[in-house]
Amino acid sequence: MQQLYVNQQFPQDWIRMFTHLANLFFEQSKLVTEQADDTAIDLRFTEVYEESPSITADIQWQGTHYTSHFAEEVKETDEREQLRQRKRMYSHVLLDVLEQATGMNQEWGILTGIRPTKLYHMYRQDGHTIDEAKQLLQQRHRVSVRKSELIAEIADVQLNALPDLYSLKEEVSIYIGIPFCPTKCAYCTFPAYAIHRKSGRVETFLDGLHEEMRAIGKWLKERDIRITTIYFGGGTPTSIEADEMDALYQTMMESFPYMEHVREVTVEAGRPDTITVPKLEVLKKWGIDRISVNPQSYTDETLKAIGRHHTVQETIDKYWLSREQGMRNINMDLIIGLPNEGLEEFEHSLAETEKMQPESLTIHTLSFKRASEMTRNKDKYQVADRETVGKMMTRGEEWSRDNGYIPYYLYRQKNILGNLENVGYSKPGEESLYNILIMEEAQTIIGLGCGASSKFMEPATGKLTQFHNPKEPGAYILGFEEAIDKKIAYLEELFPSSETIK
Ligand SMILES: C[S@@+](CC[C@H](N)C(=O)[O-])C[C@H]1O[C@@H](n2cnc3c(N)ncnc32)[C@H](O)[C@@H]1O
Ligand code: SF4
């Protein structure tokens, strides 16, 4: 535990921010305002406010003094915005002195949010040029040149894939969560429950889901609202039987408005052990040809260690089976930093992927999610160090470019190895539009099914309100009717009918 002794009082959210930044350098850190132990970092901030604020951070650590100074013009007139700016400036100097003291470099600077690309889009929409937006990321947020270039490239790809990205607020997208999986993976905290057919839970859940789809579809039809994309996720939406999938897609076709205008329907099959010919036939029957077949790793020992009861060979076989059965757009997910994996195992995963050339590939970095089996038993799982995961990420970037992929979405998570990121790559023109829309928070997303979260966006202001469906199937069965009513109430506010307006 690394203590940082600071002889000033700060609001709780500032302390959280400072601690988060210090945690990027030390395994665990704590900000204290009382007498600390000898190994503590002595931290002092000085703020001078003349025409604009200027902040200095000084630290004394292991007999050496480090200092950083940052000044910025105040453009904000709003008091809350001014406070936010000062907090950002304090973070800026703190990160700088810690970088000096430890010799470490944080490529994401002081950005803690999960959507750096959204910030870039905001700068662009505010009228900044591409160069100005990149510079703002670098100067205000200390993002590295390399990462700001990556963000700009991604934003450009997104606008090519969705030229109307900034004006899709009058439409919605739909997420449908199926909370079952063959087994639970050790790193996962998604709503994913091992599927036991005998309890009748699956059938009752599906009854509720059909009802939700019909109710929301009816409302959208009445209001004449179009759907941009539909995404079946989870969990594993192919863990249910073929006839159950068939019934769901039938309800989708019958209940949702303007299905012919929906730009994309994706079913995140995911687990190779759930993919069968009858299920692929059902997908084809309804014109769905975008799925995921997720390897995560191409090392059998790793799949065992993470509790994914399928083999590497099964991933490969199901990939080719899906292709033969007409799946035109296949995504594959890999995770960097899985237990006992280093550069060699990752190179092997890339070499195997190279033989298949899926339309898109998402490279995740392992994140220790609080409630996962892996985090609860951290000692059991040996993971690569920061330097190695950094090298793996760079190799992923190089490999993707060499194989004709372009990065098209990016997001970050808490407790992610090496403070890295997750990047989605695709062959040009094969991007998942849903992934872009959700990541950039470009429109309302209505979540149906277990654990599905909805994000309601006010078309005029872009203001977001979140709503979560119950995560556990039992709770969903009891609560889905109330969830329908609540969602419709939110939607009524966002899209009032012409009669309400009169
Ligand atoms: C919602 S999961 C569902 C995918 C599907 N059920 C499967 O496992 O193939 C989407 C992806 O998130 C990634 N993922 C989930 N938990 C993760 C974690 N803790 N760290 C890194 N990536 C994670 C995995 O690559 C996974 O394929
Ligand atoms: S199969 Fe996918 S959703 Fe299910 S537990 Fe594993 S990672 Fe999570």
Tens digit of pLDDT per residue, the chain (502 long)? 889 999 889 999 999 999 999 999 997 899 988 876 778 899 999 999 877 789 999 999 999 999 999 998 876 678 888 888 889 999 999 999 999 999 999 999 999 888 999 999 999 999 999 999 999 999 999 999 999 999 999 999 999 999 999 999 999 999 999 999 999 999 999 988 888 777 788 999 999 999 999 999 999 999 999 999 999 998 999 999 999 999 999 999 999 999 999 999 999 999 999 999 999 999 999 999 999 999 999 999 999 999 998 999 999 999 999 999 999 999 999 999 999 999 999 999 999 999 999 999 999 999 999 999 999 999 999 999 999 999 999 999 999 999 999 999 999 988 889 889 999 999 999 999 999 999 999 999 999 999 999 999 998 888 999 999 999 999 999 999 999 999 999 999 999 887 655 4
Tell me, yes or no, whether 7 and 75 share the same domain.
yes
**Coil, helix or strand at residue 181:** strand
Tell me, yes or no, whether 180 lies in a domain.
yes
Report how many domains make up the chain.
3
Tell me, yes or no, whether 238 and 169 share the same domain.
yes
Tell me, yes or no, whether 311 and 249 share the same domain.
yes
CATH code for the domain of 203: 3.80.30.20
Tell me, yes or no, whether 501 lies in a domain.
no
Integer Cα distance of 394 and 342 in angstroms: 13
Residue 265 and residue 432 in contact, taking contact as beta carbons nearer than 8 Å: no
Atom 14, ligand 1: which residue's CA is nearest?
A: 188
Cross-strand partners of 331: 292, 360
Pocket flag, ligand 2, residue 274 (CB < 6 Å): no
Closest CA to 226 of 163, 266, 265, 172: 172
pLDDT value of position 502:
47
User: Residue 287 gets which letter from DSSP?
Assistant: T
pLDDT value of position 198:
73
Tell me, yes or no, whether 134 and 212 share the same domain.
no
Tell me, yes or no, whether 251 lies in a domain.
yes
Tell me, yes or no, whether 198 and 281 share the same domain.
yes
Tell me, yes or no, whether 317 and 411 share the same domain.
yes
Pocket flag, ligand 2, residue 306 (CB < 6 Å): no
Residue with tokens 């280093």: 342
| Pairing status of strand 422-426 against strand 406-411 | antiparallel
Tell me, yes or no, whether 502 lies in a domain.
no
* Length of the chain counted residue by residue: 502
Q: What amino acid is encoded at 152 in this protein? A: A
The residue out of 71, 98, 125 marking a domain boundary is: 98
| Contact residues for 402 (Cβ-Cβ < 8 A; gap 6+) | none
The rounded Å distance from CA 189 to ligand 2 centre is: 8
Integer Cα distance of 216 and 448 in angstroms: 9
Integer Cα distance of 175 and 129 in angstroms: 33
pLDDT value of position 76:
64
Which residue among 188, 236, 291 has the greatest number of ligand 1 atoms within 8 angstroms of its CB, and so is best to mutate?
A: 188
The rounded Å distance from CA 110 to ligand 1 centre is: 26
Residue 307 and residue 186 in contact, taking contact as beta carbons nearer than 8 Å: yes
Tell me, yes or no, whether 190 and 130 share the same domain.
no
Tell me, yes or no, whether 499 lies in a domain.
no
CATH code for the domain of 34: 3.40.50
Tell me, yes or no, whether 195 and 277 share the same domain.
yes
Tell me, yes or no, whether 352 and 398 share the same domain.
yes
Tell me, yes or no, whether 315 and 411 share the same domain.
yes
> Among the residues of 4-77, which ranges form H helices?
12-23
The residue out of 122, 140, 161 marking a domain boundary is: 161
Which residue among 185, 239, 314 has the greatest number of ligand 2 atoms within 8 angstroms of its CB, and so is best to mutate?
A: 185
- Phi and psi for 422 in degrees, rounded to 5? -110, 135
Which residue among 181, 189, 190, 450 has the greatest number of ligand 1 atoms within 8 angstroms of its CB, and so is best to mutate?
A: 190
> Which one of the ligands is nearest to 270 CA?
1
Tell me, yes or no, whether 498 lies in a domain.
no
pLDDT value of position 285:
97
Tell me, yes or no, whether 215 and 155 share the same domain.
no
The residue out of 48, 73, 98 marking a domain boundary is: 98
Structural tokens at position 12: 């709780």
Structural tokens at position 183: 């087994």
Which domain, by its residues, includes 119? 105-161
Helix H or strand E segment including 65: strand 64-71
Cα 324 to Cα 272, 296, 380: the distances in Å are 15, 22, 40
> Among the residues of 103-225, which ranges form H helices?
116-125, 130-141, 145-161, 201-223
Tell me, yes or no, whether 376 and 482 share the same domain.
yes
Tell me, yes or no, whether 497 lies in a domain.
no
Tell me, yes or no, whether 410 lies in a domain.
yes
